[in-house]
Structure 1
Amino acid sequence: MKKFIAIAIVMLAFVANSQAKVKFGLRGGMNITHMSLDNSVLDASNRNGFYVGPTVKIGLPLGFDIDASAVYDQRKGKLTDVDDNESFSITSKSIAIPLNVRKGFGFGDKASVFVFAGPQFAFRVGDEKIQDWTMKSSQFSVNVGLGAMLLNHLEVKANYNIPCGKTAEAGIGDAVSNIKTGAWQIGLAVYF
């Protein structure tokens, strides 16, 4: 955590010295949760969710930007017990903080495309226990994606959120099952 804070301070100092453009906005979109399990006792189905919250974009030299958000992120999944065909749903609610570095390629002032990647930190705000599952209180993941900026105010982007650890665990019979939840995300941001 200390390294993260130190890197953030260095980046902010760099931004202040470069007289970067800072834009604030609102971001929202849809999640398509991808669940993976480490056993064959349960079958996982993907479900839709959503995210929404404030965002900031900081322009850097050489066509690079940093974008950071604090979004309410809700992901859903359906699990089915292979033996008795009994199903139940899991809804994960968290505050997610993605911090992405972007490289843009412009087509004048009207449009540009960009690629981006960066870490995401998520902190659970919902129930710790759902059915027999114990949800982790925080999760680290990585975003990789691409997008387009139109008229310097409207942004459309798509990415995959790659989990870097388990999201939950449960005792299924004599075995412990771990679950990871990544997500395909499609979103829209409006900058003011």
Structure 2
Amino acid sequence: MKKIFLTLVLLISMGLANTAQAFSFDWGITGGYNMTKLKLDGDLDRLVKSDNKSGWFVGAKANVGLIMGFGLDGALLYSQQKMYFQEKGDDFCKNDTRRSIEVPINLKYSVGLGSVATVYLATGPQFDFNIGGKRTNFMDWEEDYEDFSTFKRETMTTSWNVGVGAKLLGHLDLGLVYNFGLSKLGEAIYENTTGQQWKNDDTKMNTFKVQLTYYF
């Protein structure tokens, strides 16, 4: 009986030791390129278009390795995303910059390729906090008409990330991420000079990202 008890204690101790060794923590700096497009619905989509525009982001990132290839990563980022509005059939257009603090939190599954590289899939929510202006005029019309076309930003928005990537030599991480909006980015109101008004209170943003992270 005593031998059985000692054997169980030894097995449990070995299991706990292996579990502890399975956990890992890395942190580093990250940055990259983003390409953004607004998603307009309803009547406003027939009147105003939004093309892809380039921006960038930079910040700090942490990664926690769990067991069986699973892990978590999170980041605190400063981001600038470019938005573009143009009235269809006309030359009136406006480029605008959205400045925000982004907090993505992802669940990852990684597969090792020897000691050189690890490839992974990642997905999870992202929370964005607007730190720029809350309102912009999105048509470069003459001054008398600027107030007719406005975009009012939300203070906080939520979105979802889906991505793939590879970690090289234990330090360098290259990832591709597609981020699609879950909550509305803001409210767009378009009014022509005759007073006719179109409103979109469910404007969302979709973003493609290329990110490079260096873990210390």
Percent identity between the aligned chains? 31
Residue matched to 2:30: 27
Equivalent position SS for 1:61: coil
Select the structure that is richer in helix. 2
Pairing partner for 1:176 from 192, 195, 199: 199
Distance in 1 separating the partners of 2:39 and 2:20 = 43
| Displaced runs of 4 or more, over 6 A | none
1:77 Cα shift?
1.7
Distance in 1 separating the partners of 2:186 and 2:95 = 13
Report whether the alignment pairs 1:149 with 2:167.
yes
Structure 1 residue runs of 5 or longer lacking an equivalent are 1-16
Give, as a single letter, the amino acid of the residue that structure 1 aligns with 2:203.
Answer: I
Over the aligned positions, Cα root-mean-square deviation in angstroms equals: 1.3
Distance in 2 separating the partners of 1:154 and 1:139 = 30
Residue matched to 2:49: 43
1:92 Cα shift?
0.8
Residue matched to 1:137: 155
1:35 Cα shift?
1.6
Select the structure that is richer in strand. 1
Most deviating of 19-28 and 120-129: 19-28
TM normalised by structure 1 equals 0.88
**1:1-192 superposed matches below 5 A:** 18=20, 20-38=23-41, 39-82=45-88, 84-131=90-137, 132-173=150-191, 174-177=197-200, 178-192=202-216
Equivalent position SS for 1:62: coil
Structure 2 residue runs of 5 or longer lacking an equivalent are 1-18, 138-149, 192-196
TM normalised by structure 2 equals 0.78
